[in-house]
Structure 1
Amino acid sequence: MTDDSSTDRHARPGQSAPGRPMCLSDHGQLIAAIPHLLGFYPTDSIVLILVRDNLVFLTQRIDLPTSTLRDEQLAAQVANDVRHHADVDAIAFLVGDDAGGNGRGGRHQFAVHLWGAFARHGRVVDVYGVPRIAEGARWFDYGFPERTGTVPDPENSPMHAAAVARGLVTYADRDALAATLRPDPDDVLKRREALMDALAAHPCSADPGTMQAETEQSFQLVRRQVEQVPDRTGPLTDQDIAELSIALADLWVRDRCLGFALGEHAPAAERLWTELTRQSPAPERAEPATLLAISAYLRGDGTLAALALDRAEAAHPHHRLASMVRGAMDLGMPPATIRGIAERAVGDQHDTSREAVHHRPSE
């Protein structure tokens, strides 16, 4: 979006709870659902919710601008991001406004900019304010300040129950979610890097048959680790991490692993990619981080996807696949588009020649 804001898109879209449509007239319940749609409790944020047929279609969070000089620009960008989504109702919540929507101070002027930006695209947006997302917090309608109410307990909301049933965690804030991907200490990463250098010291074969066999062996190593995730009780060993990092540095192995996001092993694979995003040294960290981003985006968790891409790009700037996924997210492409990328990547492996990469990704 803007240089001084972060954006989270497609955060856990779909039904507000399995088989249960969202009641649009109960704005308190909708506000209480926001942390569980995003995966964390937002502060000082614009939360835009698109609803189709009374089901949450898309949730987007953006940092509120720190200067009123950016209000009009940001409002235009918000409206532009959603103008291609047809047959949806748009509802914006400005989280962090205590002014009560009385038109004097607070974020009322930003609401005016939002109305104008949506109108230029022939669209309508309802804008509400709330100081924080917590039980008893009072929300208000910027267009009709007399329309107000209180937020019920988010931890007792239907969306919270749905998130728990799906094994999803709602974090206290975005930083707490980001901490789940924080790399291990430098000395630990250097120890693993040295082990990887030792394991990869053998010369690579130039024989196509041998190269293909080595690639298949590397992929099967990753597959075994994915399959062991549900029953594994301890952490990965340094040897495990080194071997997996080397395996995923073969881009054909990495691309084949995209298939895990499309099947029954998706939860287990995502857990493994999360571990390796923390535990692998750079630049190899970019591979599991990108796999994690794709997996998260496919199931609608745009916040985790964006954070994983941050890790991938920090570990390996200009990483080709990470840049492709980032571009798709920035354009607001639906998860189905990313699914198509994953399906093509898996299918193309059988139709093109490759250059084996055994250490240090070349993307």
Structure 2
Amino acid sequence: MTSSSTTDFTSTDDDTGSTVDLRDPGELLAALPHLLGFEPVESLILIGHRGEGGKRIGNVVRADLPEPGGEVALAQRLLDPVAQDSVAVTAAVVGRRRPGASVPPSGSAVAAVGEVFARRGLPLVHALWAPEIRAGAPWRCYEDACCSGHLPDPQGTVMAAITTHAGLVTHASRAAMARQLDPVDPEVLTRRTALLRRRAAHGRQDDEAAFRRGRAAIRTALARTRDGTFTVSDTEVVELAAALAVPSVRDACLATALPAGGALALVAERLWLRLTRHTPAPERAQPATLLAYSAYVRGEGAFAGMALEVARESDPEHLLAQLLSQALDHGLPPETIAGLARTCDVEPIWEHGEAGTPEQSAN
């Protein structure tokens, strides 16, 4: 998100068959780290309610707590992402009170959310506070001091079970999640930059032959990633960066994110993550954008936003990264973004339901 403070967007999957009880404030607060992918601190979190009667969790948006005077601007910025498919909203503040204070912090931010969202026809049905998300931490409501309690163990929530079953990691902090994208040693990247420039001097191609070569290289790398035999050498990075520089190859790779959260999609996401760390700029933007797209369509908008930030820093003119950033800013549902891959008319990297490994039919 493009703002003076950090903002993260998440969309839950309505097809999990599992339920998080919105009526239990303690359970909802304890589920926040698993909804976001990391433990929030000093944060304002807005949880959209969707479906008949607002009984399902919709879009979830987290932002840094605003400075005094910035409450209304923050509420206005968060409105569009939360409003998608929502019929109401719950606000949660995670942050410590000032010494000696008897009321929860950031009440003005909560009030601003209520006023701004009401003008859009979205009622603020609940406002909750906890100093931190840990077992036994106190929580209370803003409007009723008698509405209070202590948090259950966050590791024992329904959301914890869902994320663990899906193989997803809940990070100790937002910074810990972002560190996954840290680049490797600068000397390694400098060496690879020289190799990529040398290869680029021979000219770039985007014809059928280039697509076939690039597709074969990506399929082989995906197969080795699935088998645990992929090694990130200079040769591999240069070959795969050249493959992703072919627009038709990059577009075909979008479909590896579907079905969202599936076994093959997670294999592809692991490959894009490794390439994001090991590829120098500006070529780094290609795997970072594919990583962001995969995270986005499975609902992990916070990590998608981090990957898009990397992509746009690596190549500010990268069109797909710009488009995905705009979609994330406006809270477009993952199922809408998944349409990009479904409408791609180039030959896919692998076919859904393909019996063998990707490398078996790479040629």
TM-score interval, normalised by the smaller of the two chains: 0.7 to 0.9
- C-alpha distance 229-122 of structure 1, shift in aligned 2 (>3 A): same
Q: CA deviation at 1:317?
A: 0.8
Q: CA RMSD in A?
A: 2.4
Aligned to 1:331: 330
- CA distance in 2: counterparts of 1:99 and 1:197, whole angstroms: 54
Pick which of 115-124 and 146-155 moved more.
115-124
- Going from structure 1 to structure 2, the CA distance change for 1:229 and 1:2 (only over 3 Å counts) comes to closer
Q: Distance in 2 between matches of 1:275 and 1:118?
A: 40
**Contact in 1 for aligned 2:97/2:103 (Cα 8 Å):** no
Post-superposition CA distance 1:293-333 (Å, at most 9, x none): 11100000001100000110111012111001111111111
Alignment of 1:257 onto 2:253? yes
Whether the 8 Å contact between 2:60 and 2:82 is mirrored in structure 1 is no
Amino acid at match of 2:275: L
Change beyond 3 A, Cα 1:197–1:303: same
Counting only pairs closer than 5 Å after superposition, residues 180-191 of structure 1 correspond to structure 2 as 180-191=180-191
User: Which of 193, 208, 220 pairs up with 1:212?
Assistant: 208
Give the SS at the match of 1:92. strand
Residues in 2 aligned to 1:347 and 1:331: alpha-carbon distance in whole angstroms: 26
Tell me by how many angstroms 1:203 deviates. Answer: 5.2
Query: Post-superposition shift, 1:178?
Result: 0.5
8 Å CA contact 1:97–1:107 kept in 2: the answer is no
Code of the aligned partner of 1:45: S
Matches within 5 A, 1:50-65: 50-53=48-51, 54-65=55-66
Quote the offset at 1:234 in angstroms: 5.6
Most deviating of 40-49 and 19-28: 19-28
Give the C-alpha shift of residue 96 in structure 1: 0.5
- Rounded to whole Å, the distance in 2 between the matches of 1:52 and 1:203 is 51
Post-superposition CA distance 1:260-290 (Å, at most 9, x none):
1124521111100000000001110000000
Counterparts in 2 of 1:96 and 1:111: CA distance versus 1, 3 Å? same
TM-score scaled by length of structure 1:
0.87
Asked if structure 2 preserves the Cα contact closer than 8 Å seen for 1:129 and 1:142, the reply is yes
In the other structure, the counterpart of 1:357 is none
The answer to whether the Cα contact below 8 Å between 1:14 and 1:55 also exists between their aligned partners in 2 is no
Per the alignment, in what secondary structure is the counterpart of residue 140 of structure 2? strand
Deviation readout 1:44-68 (Å, 9 max, x if unpaired):
1111112335332221111111x21
Deviation at residue 105 of structure 1 after TM alignment: 7.1
In 1, Cα distance between equivalents of 2:231 and 2:278 = 10
- Partner-residue secondary structure (3-state), 2:47: strand
Partner amino acid, structure 1, of 2:195? L
Asked if 1 retains the 8 angstrom alpha-carbon contact of 2:254 and 2:341, the reply is: yes
For 1:141, give the aligned amino acid: C
Q: What number of residue pairs does the alignment pair up?
A: 340
Q: Give SS of 1:10's match.
A: strand
2:235 to 230, 233, 239: 239
d(CA) in 1 for partners of 2:233, 2:83: 48
Match of 1:45 in 2: 43
Q: How far is 1:76 from its partner?
A: 3.0
* Structure 2: gaps of 5 or more residues: 349-363
Q: In the alignment, which residue of structure 1 is the partner of 2:141?
A: 141
Please give the alpha-carbon distance, in whole angstroms, between the structure 1 residues aligned to 2:104 and 2:27. 26
> Do the aligned residues in 2 keep the contact of 1:135 with 1:152 (CA within 8 Å)?
yes
Does residue 28 (structure 1) correspond to residue 26 (structure 2)? The answer is yes
Q: Quote the sequence identity (%).
A: 38
